Structure 1
């Protein structure tokens, strides 16, 4: 169930915020599709940690697996290059 998997990604991301010393967050963008695949869901958020590092996270699921991707830097993140990486996750084909 993709909606349950999406909620699990949010719960896991909330947990990571506490362990990674995240102090600010924009808020989750939900309902993203990996490569326009309707059988996937993704969440997106922008964070800032206690050292003022900037984070961009994307978490993806196909209902069976979850992948958590992130990039962080003390400088402004180069969005186009970051997006290529964050959108680069691929799930194995079901056999």
Structure 2
């Protein structure tokens, strides 16, 4: 596995998993993991703190870091979107 890490979360408007993209003048969340900013293990904690501002502003929830090349079962399931329809009642 890669030493590089990316940050992921769930978007509050649609429930989809998104990835943290940081540039010099903005922060965004993208559905494409290839667009995610990559961080070394020495940088990831500070990047998580910056990403947490989006959680405070009710943009995303459940922020955490994963290996940039994570192909675990959990991440494969998340990549396909919510396992139930978002915003609908479950019987």
TM-score using structure 2 length:
0.26
Higher strand share: 1
TM-score using structure 1 length:
0.25
Task: Say which structure, 1 or 2, has more relative contact order (CA 8 Å, 6+ apart).
Answer: 2
Higher helix share: 1
